[in-house]
C-alpha cells in the first residue's frame, strides 16, 4: 500500500530540553484528564504525525473492548463503530505477540496478498488514508497492555523517529505501572469508603492541636448537622460538651507522646446522635504536609430521633414511648440511663422493655439492640 510513496520527512531534531519535557509529560500524564494528553500532543508534533494514539486493552478482555487516547484527527465515528462491531475480527495485527518496546511498521506485520488482510486495509485503513503506521506494544508487570500507534498520510517515518520512540518506551512502561498501582489503590479505597459510608461513618484526620487536616464528605455532612461540634476559623475542632472536649485534648496529647496508644471513643451528642472513635495514625507522611496525628471515625444518625421513632413504630408496631426507649437502648444506654433520657421511671422502662421483647421476638436487651441495628432502620 505504501510502496509508491517513498518520501520520508525527518523527525524534528529533539533537544535535551524537549526530550526532558516529553518524558516529564509521560510521567505526569497519569494525573491528566484526558490521560497522557500533553505527551500525545507533543509526540505528534515532534514526529510530524497526522495521528497518535494509545490504545489500552486488558489481557482478559475481548480485542474490541478498548480505551483509546489520541491526538489528531480520528477515524469517522461510523467507521470506528464499524471497526468495534465487525472489522476488528479481520484485524491481522498480532497485538499480543509484538515484542514490548519495539517499534513496528504496520505493513511489515500484515500480508497484503492475504485476502483477509487486504480486506481489512481496504475497509479500515484506506478510508482514512493511513498509509504509514507505526505500532509499539507497551507492557507493565500487572498485565496491562497499551499500543502506541502513529499514522502519517503522505510521508514515512525515518529511522531516527523509530529510535526516538523506542527510547521513550521504558518511561511509558514505568508510567503505566504507576497508573495501574494508582488505579488499584483508588478502587480499593472506593470500596472501603462505600462500606464505611453505608454504616453511617465518616472519616477525618486531626493534628495534635485538634485542627482538621482531611475531611470526607460523609464526615462533613454528619458534623454539619450537629451543633455540639464546630470548627473555628483555624479549622480547629471544638466540642461543646466539656467532658468530651477534655477527652479529645488528652487523647491528642497522648497520641503525640505515644503513636501506639489505644483508640478512644468520645460521645458528642444525643440529638442528633453522634459519637467518634479516635485512632492513632502510625503511618507518617513524607510529603512535607502537616502530619495528622490521628484518624477520627465519626458515626451518627442521618435521621432525627423523631424519624427513627416513627420507623421503629411502623416496623415493630410499637408505641411512641416504647420506640423512644428502644432507640435509647440501641445507642448503648442502660435501662436507667434510657429511662432518665426519655423522662420515665426505671420501673416503667422495665415494663416497656418487656413489651419490646415480646413485639420484637427477643428475650434480652442485647438481642433487642442487635435486631434494631440490623433492621432497615439502621440504613435510614
Indicate the burial class of 186 (C-beta count within 10 angstroms; 0-12, 13-18, 19 or more).
exposed
| Average pLDDT taken over every residue of the chain | 85
- C-alpha cell of 275? 459519637
- Structure confidence by residue, pLDDT tens digits, 167-179: 999 999 999 999 8
* Helix-helix angle 320-330:335-342, to 10 degrees: 130
Better-scored residue on pLDDT, 294 or 189? 294
The Cα 207–Cα 36 span in angstroms is 36
**What's the CA gap between 226 and 228, in Å, rounded?**
5
The pLDDT value given to residue 10: 58
| pLDDT at res. 13 | 61
Predicted pLDDT at 201: 83
Given a cut of 90, whether residue 301 has pLDDT beyond it is no
Asked whether residue 302 carries a pLDDT value surpassing 70, the answer given is no
Residue 322 and residue 356 in contact, taking contact as beta carbons nearer than 8 Å = yes
Summarize the confidence of residues 277-304 as an average pLDDT.
75
User: No. of H helices and E strands in the chain?
Assistant: 13, 14
| Spatial distance between the Cα atoms of 313 and 183, rounded to a whole number of angstroms | 45
Q: Does the structure show a pLDDT above 80 at 285?
A: no
Residue 4 pLDDT class (50, 70, 90 cuts): very low
The pLDDT value given to residue 168:
95
Domains defined for the chain, CATH in brackets: 8-184 (3.30.450.80), 199-300 (3.30.450.20), 305-379 (1.10.10.10)
Of the chain, the percentage scoring pLDDT greater than 90 comes to: 38
In whole angstroms, what separates CA 338 from the centre of its chain?
41
Confirm if 236 and 245 have CB atoms less than 8 A apart: no
198-217 pLDDT per residue, tens: 677 888 999 999 999 998 88
Residue with cell 498480532: 94
C-alpha distance across the termini of the chain, in Å: 66
- Cell numbers 435501662 correspond to 335
Q: What is the pLDDT of residues 146-164, one digit of tens each?
A: 999 999 988 899 999 999 9
What is the average pLDDT across 139-148? 88
- What is the pLDDT averaged over residues 239-263? 91
Q: What percent of the chain has pLDDT over 70?
A: 88
The pLDDT value recorded for residue 1 is 44
319-366 pLDDT per residue, tens: 999 999 998 888 888 999 999 989 999 999 999 999 999 999 998 888
**Residue 101: what pLDDT?**
95
> What's the CA dihedral at 236, 237, 242, 246 to 10 degrees?
-80
Please state whether the predicted TM-score (pTM) of the whole model is above 0.75: no
pLDDT at site 376:
62
Instruction: Report the pLDDT value the prediction gives residue 2, as an integer from 0 to 100.
Output: 43
Separation of alpha carbons 238 and 54, rounded Å: 51
Overall size of the chain counted in residues: 380
- Kindly state the DSSP code that residue 213 receives in the 8-state scheme: E
- pLDDT in the model for residue 71: 84
CB neighbour list of residue 54: distance below 8 Å, 6 or more residues apart: 35, 36, 40, 68, 69, 70, 138, 146, 147, 148, 149
Average pLDDT over residues 108-117: 91
Average of pLDDT values for 16-27?
A: 86
Q: Read off the C-alpha cell for 313.
A: 413504630
Q: What is the pLDDT of residue 303?
A: 61
Q: Which cell numbers in the block locate residue 240? A: 461543646
Per-residue confidence (pLDDT) for residue 38, from 0 to 100:
93
Tens digits of per-residue pLDDT, 39-70?
Answer: 999 999 999 999 999 988 766 666 667 788 88
Amino acid at each position: 500500500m505504501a510502496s509508491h510513496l517513498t518520501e520520508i520527512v525527518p523527525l524534528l531534531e529533539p533537544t535535551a530540553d524537549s526530550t526532558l519535557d516529553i518524558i516529564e509529560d509521560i510521567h505526569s500524564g497519569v494525573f491528566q484528564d484526558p490521560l497522557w494528553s500533553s505527551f500525545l500532543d507533543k509526540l505528534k508534533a515532534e514526529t510530524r504525525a497526522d495521528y497518535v494514539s494509545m490504545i489500552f486493552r486488558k489481557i482478559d478482555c475481548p480485542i474490541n473492548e478498548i480505551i483509546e487516547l489520541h491526538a489528531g484527527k480520528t477515524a469517522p465515528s461510523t467507521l470506528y463503530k464499524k471497526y468495534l462491531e465487525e472489522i476488528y475480527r479481520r484485524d491481522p495485527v498480532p497485538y499480543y505477540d509484538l515484542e514490548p518496546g519495539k517499534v513496528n511498521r504496520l505493513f511489515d506485520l500484515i500480508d497484503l496478498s492475504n485476502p483477509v488482510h487486504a480486506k481489512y486495509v481496504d475497509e479500515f485503513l484506506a478510508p482514512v488514508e493511513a498509509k504509514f503506521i507505526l505500532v509499539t506494544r507497551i507492557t507493565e508487570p500487572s498485565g496491562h497492555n497499551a499500543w502506541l500507534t502513529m499514522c502519517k498520510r503522505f510521508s514515512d517515518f525515518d529511522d531516527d523517529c523509530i529510535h526516538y520512540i523506542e527510547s521513550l518506551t521504558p518511561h511509558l512502561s514505568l508510567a503505566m505501572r504507576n497508573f495501574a498501582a494508582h488505579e488499584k489503590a483508588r478502587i480499593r479505597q472506593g470500596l472501603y469508603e462505600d462500606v464505611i459510608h453505608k454504616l453511617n461513618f465518616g472519616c477525618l484526620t486531626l493534628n495534635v492541636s485538634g485542627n482538621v487536616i482531611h475531611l470526607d464528605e460523609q464526615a462533613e455532612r454528619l458534623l454539619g448537622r450537629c451543633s455540639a461540634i464546630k470548627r473555628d476559623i483555624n479549622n480547629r475542632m471544638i466540642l461543646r460538651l466539656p467532658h468530651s472536649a477534655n477527652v479529645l485534648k488528652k487523647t491528642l496529647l497522648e497520641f503525640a507522646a505515644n503513636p501506639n496508644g489505644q483508640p478512644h471513643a468520645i460521645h458528642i451528642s444525643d440529638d442528633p446522635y453522634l459519637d467518634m472513635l479516635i485512632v492513632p495514625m502510625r503511618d507518617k507522611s513524607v510529603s512535607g504536609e502537616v502530619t495528622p496525628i490521628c484518624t477520627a471515625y465519626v458515626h451518627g444518625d442521618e435521621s432525627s430521633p423523631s424519624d427513627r421513632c416513627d420507623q421503629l413504630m411502623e416496623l415493630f408496631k410499637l408505641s411512641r414511648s416504647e420506640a423512644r426507649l428502644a432507640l435509647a437502648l440501641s445507642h448503648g444506654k442502660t435501662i436507667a440511663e434510657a429511662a432518665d433520657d426519655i423522662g420515665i421511671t426505671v420501673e416503667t422502662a422495665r415494663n416497656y422493655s418487656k413489651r419490646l421483647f415480646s413485639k420484637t421476638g427477643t428475650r434480652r436487651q442485647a438481642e433487642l439492640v442487635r435486631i434494631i441495628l440490623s433492621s432497615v432502620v439502621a440504613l435510614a
